[in-house]
Chain A
Amino acid sequence: EAGVAQSPRYKIIEKRQSVAFWCNPISGHATLYWYQQILGQGPKLLIQFQNNGVVDDSQLPKDRFSAERLKGVDSTLKIQPAKLEDSAVYLCASSPGTDAFFGQGTRLTVV
């Protein structure tokens, strides 16, 4: 069974530029999460989708971050404009109900 796919693995951008991350969840998983993990910290939930609807986006900085899940499958997370403090690993996870399965993450460096 294929796992959660994320791309790119690494991204370096200058502040004020925009960036997008892509996630392809495990087939059939209704729930999709995006987490931000700053170095040395635990993952922080940014947004949770159930199929193509948003369940929780209370910690998503909506002035600069946006996310969508087209047709309840793939998802993209966008940052525009990026700030230095957005440097982190962005993790995508999917779940069929209970257990969440993670991708390898995208390491973003904002310079």
Chain B
Amino acid sequence: AQTVTQSQPEMSVQEAETVTLSCTYDTSENNYYLFWYKQPPSRQMILVIRQEAYKQQNATENRFSVNFQKAAKSFSLKISDSQLGDTAMYFCAFGAQKLVFGQGTRLTINP
């Protein structure tokens, strides 16, 4: 069974700082995807970034980038130049036959 672990329940940084959210996962699959989703207070889950396991190059989307370490089964999210609108719950998710989520990290960006 696949499991996803987010070890940081809460994080808080000042606006414009860089923050890194951690995620580890466990699987015996070889082909899979990893995702970071953002969930603001409105509840709607928004896809932030996706990483294909077969790709060695780390995915980037504007201010968001990942550090994917396949051997270590680690998938962290880095947010650069953080903004107030980045305040939300962030969920790491593993996708193969099904999509499995971690417990989430509550990120607060302070002005």
Contacts and interface: CB of A to CB of B under 8 A. Distances in A.
Interface of A: 33, 35, 41-45, 48, 55-56, 89, 91, 93, 95, 98-105, 107
Q: At the interface, is chain A mostly helix, strand, loop or mixed?
A: strand
B99 A33 contact: yes
Contact of B50 (A45, A99, A107): A99
Chain B: interface size category: 20 to 34
Q: At the interface, is chain B mostly helix, strand, loop or mixed?
A: strand
Contact of A48 (B91, B98, B101): B98
B33 A98 contact: yes
Interface of B: 4, 6, 33, 35, 37, 42-47, 50, 91, 95, 97-104
Given A42-B91, A42-B101, A98 B44 contact: no
